[in-house]
Structures are given as C-alpha cells and as structure tokens.
C-alpha cells in the first residue's frame, strides 16, 4: 500500500472508526487528519495553520452574533408573541393549532435561524396546547419538529454562513439568505397543505377566537421582533451592511427589544445568556477549525477529484447524479448533525455538482445541501430537533418517528422540487443581487 492510499484510508477510515466509538466529531476530524498527515509526510504545523485559517474570517463573526441574538430571544420569551400572531391569523380555521404550529415556525425562522431553538421555544408552548385540545401527541411533536426545519432555510441562518465559508463564497452570503426564502416557504406551505387534509379527515378542533380588543396589540408586539428580518435582509441586499455588521445591529436591536421595550427578562439573565452563547460558539468554532484541517488533507489527497470521477463515471445523467447525491446526504443526515456535515461534505461534493456534467450554481447547491441536512435534524437515530421535541412532548422517539412519516414524505417531495427546479432557490438572488 503506497503512502497516498494509506493516508486516504487513515483519513476516511479513521474518521468512521472514531465516530463509531463515540469520539466527538471535532476530535474525530482532527485525529484522522493528523494520522493522515503523518502517513504522507505533511508537517503538523501546516495543519495548525489551516485550523487558524479556518476561523480567521471577518464573515465568521456573524455566527456569534446570530447565536447571541437567538439566546436573548429565547430568554425574553419572544416566541410567545410569534405564537399569538400565528393564532390570530390562522387559529380560527378547523385544525387551527396545526396551522399555528406551521406558521409560527415560519415566522420564528425569520428571527432565530435554528431548528433546535424553534422546537425548544415554540414547542414548549404549542405541543402542550395541541395535546390539551385533543390532538394526537405524536402528531403534535412530529409537526413541531418538521416545521422547525424552516428555521435553517429562512434567513438569518448561521448554517448558511458556515456553508459559504466552507464553499469559499463568503461574498455571496446575501444571495444564500435570499435563496432560502422560497424553499422555506415551500416547506411551510406543503406542511400546511398536509394539515388541511388531515384536519378534514380527523376532524381537528378549532381554536377559540381572539378578542377584538387584543388583536392590535398582538400584531404590534409581533411586528417588532419581525423587524430583525428587515434589518438583516434589506440591509445586506441594498449594500448598507455586510452580513457581519447586520448581525451585530440585529443583536443590539434584540437586546433593546427584550430588556428595555418588552422588559420580558431581567438584566441579571445576561450572565446565563452569555454562558449559553459561549458554550455553543466554542462547539461551532472547534468544529470549523477541525473540519478545515480535514478538508485540507482531502484536497492534498485529491479525494474530491476521485469522487467526481467516480460519480460521473457511473452515469452522465444529471438528474440521476443529483438523486444519488440527495440519497447520500439524507442517509448521512440520519447519523450526523448539520454543522459537521456541511463542513465535511461541501469540499467533497461542491466540485462534483459544479462539474460541467451537472453545472450547478454554488448558491443553489448550498440550499439543497441545507435542505437535505434539515431533514436529518428530525430523523432518528441522532436527529437533534427530534430529540428535543420528544423530550418536550414526553413521547418515545421510535413511535413519534413512525407517526411523522407523512411529514417526512412532504419534506422529501419539497427537497426534490428545490433540487430539480433551480429557480426556486435562485429567482430572488438573481432578481435582487445579480
């Protein structure tokens, strides 16, 4: 076995073995990269330089601001105002709470950018309400978990920032944000359509009407958090802010909203908010640094080139190649979390999809990749959003996953539409930024 082959086996095989024995992802990435580098004579100082390079980015500063913004919102109970607005808009229809569940995730996705944050904050409100009204508890949890996946598609999404850095298109984060709108709305609309048919079939109840005297206050209270979307998207689209600057301004706006305007959290809670933010940020930055060294070794060993040759050697049919890639990502999403998969798979698959055989736009691929991995967030055995939802609803994961199968089907159908109709992802970026 020559040095290159041995290094490839150590890199890929070592990573798989370390994952199987439950080594944390960041350490599995780093250890397999170190073993591979030693086998092929690469200096470890080069790996360290690559790790530093991976997190030495002005654009990367947007991630801590987005994480901090989400933590402040969760602490201030902003999700309650989103649920109230959703209830006002769609609660009066048959199956109103099911519609509320979908719509509040659509609205909250504009301000959180996280599926897990969506489930933990909105789920703690909506799941008990649905159970109280007589909805099947597994249906309530499954719907909450799947609708929460809109949060990683509808901007602001820190996962899009991670993809942009991994793909080397940091200057196109604004395009990625805009590209996620229609796929996110497509997912939400599809799940609402499913709820419509299920409401008719199972005679879901209606919500109590909102008193007229409360309607204006509900709208005003919900509009203020929604202004975060205007700050981020409009500011970036017209060139007033960079993504990092808009994230910082939106974070400050969230602080003022929570602690000074609504006064829904005491200032003493800032310590808890900072601790949670730093904990999450440490995990994200460690992953990015370790993944950068892993990606560097893949480049040195020409693994992306080999995979491109392998896939294009199987077939030159663009649609079949995209189907193979989607199936691969859906399977991987069942076993790994979103951020490490973005960091690992982007440098491997981006050369494949941008090859002339497929000719995919990097922004379009980013949306497809994130949509795929969003499905993984709510599928067993390691779907983090599914775990949180089942913990809140106190339901067994196995039973809930079975009851969620119709929603999985809707998500996969939406994924196929986004994959094979590029305009769903590219129409808004082309219209406004290109």
pLDDT single digits (tens) 234-258: 777 677 788 888 888 888 998 999 9
Which stretch, 99-103, 208-212, 290-294, 322-326, has highest mean pLDDT? 322-326
Q: b/e for 327-340, b at 16 or more Cβ within 10 A?
A: eebbebbeebbbbb
3-class secondary structure per residue, the chain = CCHHHHHHHHHHHHHHHHHHCCCCHHHHHHHHHHHHHHHCCCCHHHHHHHHHHHHCCCHHHHHHHHHHHHHHHHHHCHHHHHHHHHHHHHCCCCCHHHHHHHHHHHHHHHHHCCHHHHHHHHHHHHHHHHHHCCCCHHHHHHHHHHHHHHHHCCCCCHHHHHHHHHHCCHHHHHHHHHHCHHHHHHHHHHHHHHHHHHHHHHCCCCCCCCCHHHHHHHHHHHHHHHHHHHHHHHHHHCCCCCHHHHHHHHHHHHHHHHHHHCCCCCHHHHHHHHHHHHHHHHHHHHHHHHHHHHHHHHHHCCHHHHHHHHHHHHCCCHHHHHHHHHHHHHHHHCCCCHHHHHHHHHHHHHHHHHCCCCCCCHHHHHHHHHHHHHHHCCCCCCCHHHHHHHHHHCCCHHHHHHHCHHHHHHHHHHHHHHHHCCHHHHHHHHHHCC
- Statement: residue 196 has pLDDT above 70: yes
**pLDDT score for 2:** 65
Question: How do residues 256-277 score in pLDDT, each as one tens digit?
Answer: 999 998 888 899 999 999 998 8
**pLDDT score for 373:** 92
CA nearest 62: which of 174, 204, 146, 194?
174
**pLDDT score for 88:** 87
Average pLDDT of the residues of the chain: 87
**pLDDT score for 184:** 93
Comparing 51 with 80, which gets the higher pLDDT? 51
Residues 6+ apart with CB under 8 A from 408: 146, 375, 378, 379
Other residues' Cβ atoms within 10 Å of the Cβ of residue 303: 18
- CA-to-CA separations, 17 to 39, 283, 335, in angstroms, rounded: 17, 21, 14
Size of the chain in residues: 434
Residues 6+ apart with CB under 8 A from 349: 304, 307, 325, 365, 369
**pLDDT score for 324:** 92
pTM of the model: 0.86
Read off the pLDDT of each residue in 339-356 and give the average, rounded to a whole number. Answer: 89
**pLDDT score for 434:** 65
Comparing 305 with 396, which gets the higher pLDDT? 396
**pLDDT score for 269:** 92
Identify the band that residue 232 occupies on the pLDDT scale cut at 50, 70 and 90: confident
**pLDDT score for 415:** 96
For residue 244, what are its two tokens?
Answer: 């990092």
- Statement: residue 396 has pLDDT above 80: yes
Question: How do residues 352-372 score in pLDDT, each as one tens digit?
Answer: 899 888 899 999 999 999 999
- To 5 degrees, how large is the angle CA 80–CA 138–CA 142? 60
CA nearest 93: which of 206, 223, 169?
206
- Statement: residue 408 has pLDDT above 90: yes
CA 178, chain centre distance (Å): 15
Read off the pLDDT of each residue in 15-32 and give the average, rounded to a whole number. Answer: 89
The CA distance from 127 to 132, in Å, is 9
Question: How do residues 2-14 score in pLDDT, each as one tens digit?
Answer: 667 889 899 989 9
Question: How do residues 131-161 score in pLDDT, each as one tens digit?
Answer: 888 889 999 999 999 998 888 898 878 889 8
């Amino acid at each position: 076995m020559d040095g290159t082959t041995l290094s490839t086996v150590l890199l890929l095989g070592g990573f798989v073995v370390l994952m199987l024995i439950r080594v944390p992802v960041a350490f599995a990435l780093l250890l397999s990269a170190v073993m591979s580098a030693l086998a092929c004579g690469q200096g470890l100082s080069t790996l360290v330089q690559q790790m530093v390079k991976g997190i030495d980015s002005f654009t990367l500063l947007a991630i801590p601001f987005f994480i901090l913004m989400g933590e402040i919102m969760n602490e201030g109970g902003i999700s309650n105002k989103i649920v109230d607005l959703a209830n006002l808009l769609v609660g009066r229809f048959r199956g109103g709470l099911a519609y509320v569940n979908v719509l509040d995730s659509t609205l909250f996705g504009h301000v959180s950018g996280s599926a897990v944050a969506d489930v933990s904050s909105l789920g703690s409100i909506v799941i008990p309400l649905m159970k109280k009204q007589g909805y099947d508890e597994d249906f309530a949890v499954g719907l909450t978990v799947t609708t929460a996946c809109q949060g990683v598609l509808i901007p602001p999404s820190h996962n899009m920032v991670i993809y942009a850095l991994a793909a080397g298109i940091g200057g196109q984060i604004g395009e990625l944000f805009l590209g996620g709108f229609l796929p996110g709305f497509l997912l939400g609309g599809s799940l609402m359509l499913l709820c419509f048919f299920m409401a008719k079939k199972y005679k879901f109840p209606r919500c109590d009407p909102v008193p007229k005297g409360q309607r204006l206050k509900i709208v005003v209270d919900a509009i203020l958090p929604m202004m975060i979307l205007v700050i981020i998207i409009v500011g970036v689209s017209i060139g007033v802010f960079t993504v990092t600057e808009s994230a910082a301004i939106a974070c400050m706006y969230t602080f003022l909203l929570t602690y000074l305007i609504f006064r829904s959290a005491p200032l003493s809670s800032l310590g808890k908010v900072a601790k949670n933010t730093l904990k999450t940020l440490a995990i994200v930055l460690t992953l990015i640094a370790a993944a950068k060294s892993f990606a560097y070794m893949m480049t040195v060993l020409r693994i992306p080139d080999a995979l491109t040759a392998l896939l294009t050697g199987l077939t030159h049919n663009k649609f079949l190649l995209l189907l193979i890639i989607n199936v691969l990502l859906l399977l991987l999403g069942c076993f790994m979390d979103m951020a490490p998969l973005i960091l690992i798979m982007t440098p491997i698959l981006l050369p494949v999809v941008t090859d002339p055989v497929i000719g995919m736009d990097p922004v379009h691929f980013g949306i497809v990749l994130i949509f795929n991995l969003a499905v993984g967030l709510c599928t067993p055995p390691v779907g983090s959003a599914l775990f949180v939802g089942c913990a809140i609803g106190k339901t067994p994961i196995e039973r809930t996953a079975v009851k969620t199968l119709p929603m999985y089907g809707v998500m996969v159908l939406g994924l196929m539409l986004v994959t094979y109709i590029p305009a769903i992802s590219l129409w808004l970026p082309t219209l406004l930024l290109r």
